Amino acid sequence: MVQKFDIRRKMFLLWEFTLKLVDILEQLSNANGVTGREGEVRDLIKSFLKPYVDEIREDKLGNLIALKKGKNSSPTVMLAAHMDEIGLMVKNIKKKGFLQFAKIGGIDDRVILAQKVTVHTDKGSLPGVIGSKPVHIQKEEEKKKVIDADKLFIDIGARDKEEAEKMGVQVGDVVSFDTKFAQIGNGIVLGKAFDNRVGCTVMIETLRRLNKVDCNIFAVGTIQEEVGLRGATTTAFQVAPDIGIALDSTVAGDMPGVGEGEAPAKMGDGPVLTVADAGLIAHPKVLRWLIDSAKKNKIPYQLETGIRGSTDAARIALSKEGVPSGVISVAARYIHSPAGIMNLEDIEKTIQLTVAAIENVQKYF
Ligand SMILES: [Zn+2]
């Protein structure tokens, strides 16, 4: 028995040693967790976090709540990374077997046309494509128009409604984009659901790197962020933290067509600290703590304000009697579309900042 344990321990150490943040990100990005169906992502995060926390559990709604105990019981820091991703949901199966769908989360109608997708049914996953009328038969006015998502459909190759149902499709099945993770360029990655598998990666890596800590850390994978920060609302209530930090992704504005100041964050310039967004004004003490931690450790950072939308931190901040909260993000291009781009160095620096801040927290709170 002892020998068996040794082998297992050695295998774990080997796995542990060779596991890099890019591997974690790749697995999380390729996993599917459209809002409301976060199970696959939750299981993955759980397996990554388990060796590094003292307690881990799933709550009634499906949030994942892990605790790493500190030497002192205060302060309690809540790190929140939402597990869900934007996607689609089957709304109706047409007589001819085509699937009409609703959008889940903020998706631009223009980016979903002609995309490859996966329909997740009780009987398994079905590949499909969002159909579009070929250019050969489009009228001139049609070519100029954006087609409403309501008028689009998913083609899963079913002959008719009956066959689609036999294949397992039901109203309410979720649909994710079919984009495989890839490393491109120099230290750049491409994939789906970077919003917010990058936040999940930062949270996991932070817990892996922290040794003994003074404060209690709750690492929380939240559900249903994209439709109204729902998991953060109920988990903040359960955890009752002293400080809340959302780990998320934000809009990188360094691309053609985005004016100066429209989206100030750039890829490659380090972690992004939210000053204010549509739902949160970062607590001044939290912002000071994060900025000081970056400066002290010579970690580049960017400040962001004026972006529409918000993060889990907005709900944590308003939990119970109120929780000083902030957001640390990674700038990603083309978020809320079928494929995004990020810089691995930004992710590394974001992890470094999160670790440094936690190690430094008792000086501030
Ligand atoms: Zn997000």
- The string of pLDDT tens digits covering residues 142-190 is 777 777 888 899 999 999 999 999 999 999 999 999 999 999 999 999 9
The rounded Å distance from CA 223 to ligand 1 centre is 11
Residue 228 confidence (pLDDT): 87
Predicted local distance difference test score (pLDDT) of residue 355: 97
Q: Which residue has the higher pLDDT, 259 or 268?
A: 268
Would you state the pLDDT for residue 316? 96
Distance in Å, CA 162 to ligand 1 centroid: 37
Confidence of residue 260 (pLDDT cuts 50, 70, 90): confident
Q: How far is the CA of 330 from the centre of ligand 1 (A)?
A: 10
Distance from Cα 341 to the centre of ligand 1, integer Å: 15
- CA 358 – ligand 1 centroid, Å: 22
Q: What's the pLDDT at 16?
A: 67
In this predicted structure, the answer to whether residue 308 has a pLDDT above a threshold of 90 is: no
Mean pLDDT, to the nearest integer, of 244-271? 90
Share of the chain above pLDDT 90, in %: 76
* Interval 275-293: pLDDT, tens: 999 999 999 999 999 999 9
Cα of 280 from ligand 1 centre, angstroms: 14
Q: What is the pLDDT of residue 332?
A: 95
Q: What mean pLDDT is predicted for residues 227-241?
A: 93
Q: How confident is the model at residue 107 (pLDDT cuts 50, 70, 90)?
A: confident
pLDDT in the model for residue 24? 96
What percent of the chain lies above the pLDDT cut of 70? 96
Q: 38, 85, 205, 225: which is the annotated catalytic residue?
A: 225
**Mean pLDDT lowest for which of 103-112, 247-256, 264-273?**
103-112
Provide the pLDDT for residue 138. Answer: 74
Residue 62 pLDDT exceeds 70 = yes
| Residue 5 confidence (pLDDT) | 62
Neighbours of ion ligand 1 (CB under 5 A): 195-196, 248
Over the chain, what is the mean pLDDT? 92
Please determine, for residue 4, whether its predicted confidence score (pLDDT) is greater than 70: no
- Catalytic annotation on 225? yes
Q: Compute the average pLDDT of residues 88-116.
A: 92
Report yes or no: 166 and 49 within 8 Å, Cβ to Cβ: no
- Choose between 347 and 106: higher pLDDT: 347
Question: How far is the centre of ligand 1, averaged over its atoms, from the C-alpha of 69 (Å)?
Answer: 27
Confidence class of residue 215 from pLDDT cuts 50, 70 and 90?
very high
Query: Is residue 137 over pLDDT 60?
Result: yes
What's the gap in Å between 335 CA and the centre of ligand 1? Answer: 9
The backbone region for 318, taken as left when phi is positive above 0, alpha when psi lies in -120 to 50, beta otherwise, is alpha
Its pTM stands at: 0.93
The angle subtended at Cα 28 by Cα 82 and Cα 211, nearest 5°, is 75
State the distance from the centre of ligand 1 to the C-alpha of 248, rounded, in angstroms.
5
> Given this model, what pLDDT does residue 3 score?
55
Q: What is the pLDDT of residues 192-202, one digit of tens each?
A: 999 999 999 99
Average pLDDT over residues 52-81: 94
Task: Please give the pLDDT value at position 109.
Answer: 81
Please, which residues have CB within 8 angstroms of residue 203's CB and are 6 or more apart in sequence?
45, 49, 79, 81, 219, 221, 247, 354
Q: How far is the CA of 309 from the centre of ligand 1 (A)?
A: 9
7 alpha carbon – ligand 1 mean position (Å): 39
